[in-house]
Amino acid sequence: MTRLPSPFARPGRWYRGVWHCHTTESDGVRSVDNVVAWYGDRGYDFLAITDHNRVTAGPGAPRRGGPLLVPGVEVDAGQTQIGTSFHILGIGLRAMIEIPKDAAVRHALPAQAVVDRLRAAGAAVFIAHPYWSGLVAADLVPLRNIAGIEVYNGNTDVDVAKGYSGVQWDDCLTRGRPLWGAANDDAHWRLPDYGRGWTMLRAEDGLTPESVAVALGAGSFYASTGAVLDDVTFDGETATVRIAAPGAREVRFICDHRWGARVQAAPTPLREASHTLRGRERYLRIEVVGAGGEMAWTNPLFVEQ
């Protein structure tokens, strides 16, 4: 068993952020100023605009009290098993990487080459909306130096009901691939795809673009669509999650094959739930379904590699 670091055991404080959204600089319908103001007015601590195949500069005049702006990009490149392209998020990169401008040439470029260039530029790298992209384990497991995937994507959920990628995540974890799971809006602003998914990131010494990239790469976060986690502990045998008020209607301890547990509230919402492993599991992660249906996902607590 490879125990993985838990952000709940780390010093520091929690910061709320989104690091996948778009503006009029690519295929979004709101300006950079408008997007930054929207997240700032709602108290987000950090934001990465990930326009397609370019790094978008922030507003001309920095917004006082607004979110920290982290450089980001979404690159469509490579080919999956079914012939679609990978959508690769690079967060915290120092400068835009070199990629072909022509889409056909870019899609002939191996996805791994884009990942390597983003990592060399200092970025944390995630694969966006695997379900929507038609990705399977054979696409994801061979990729080296990616931090994780989006387990929830607001835009593809609202648009075509393909926003949840838990199965794709579990397929990788079962095969010993310790990927992190993130939630993001991917807002394009034509639909109500904003304010739907975010990251709660744990950082000790405040926020900088570099510290955000490091924390994302290290899995120092949990993903949420509204459920708030107070604490998660794991001693190698028993995992316990504590949920902020008003609590949860369900807690899922997700493991491989036939193992795991589903704990349901009866009759009052759950504020705490625990599960003890049988000793044969290959991985463990936790999903929380809040009293109103909102969700939260922990990163895996262990993965047998």
CA dihedral 44, 301, 227, 229 (to 10 degrees): -80
Q: Are the beta carbons of 196 and 294 closer than 8 angstroms?
A: no
Query: Does residue 171 sit in helix, strand or coil?
Result: helix
Q: Give the model's pLDDT for residue 262.
A: 97
Residue 199 reports pLDDT greater than 70: yes
Burial of 229 (0-12, 13-18, 19+ CB in 10 A): buried
| Angle (CA) 186 146 123, round 5° | 70
Q: Are the beta carbons of 182 and 259 closer than 8 angstroms?
A: no
Q: Give the model's pLDDT for residue 62.
A: 61
- Residue-averaged pLDDT of the chain: 95
Each residue's pLDDT tens digit, 53-107: 999 998 865 667 789 999 999 999 999 999 999 999 999 999 999 999 999 999 9
Residue 1 reports pLDDT greater than 90: no
Q: Would you give the DSSP letter of residue 179?
A: -
Burial of 238 (0-12, 13-18, 19+ CB in 10 A): exposed
Averaged over 251-274, what is the pLDDT? 95
Which tokens in the block code for residue 208?
């900088």
Q: Are the beta carbons of 128 and 87 closer than 8 angstroms?
A: yes
Domains of the chain: 2-225 (3.20.20.140), 226-305 (2.60.40)
Averaged over 122-137, what is the pLDDT? 98
**H helices within 79-227, ranges in order?**
103-108, 111-120, 130-133, 137-140, 154-160, 166-174, 209-218
Q: Which has more pLDDT, 58 or 35?
A: 35
Q: Would you give the DSSP letter of residue 21?
A: B
Residue 258 reports pLDDT greater than 80: yes
Q: Would you list the DSSP string of 191-245?
A: SS-SSS-EEEEEESS---HHHHHHHHHHT-EEEESS--EEEEEE-SSEEEEEE-T
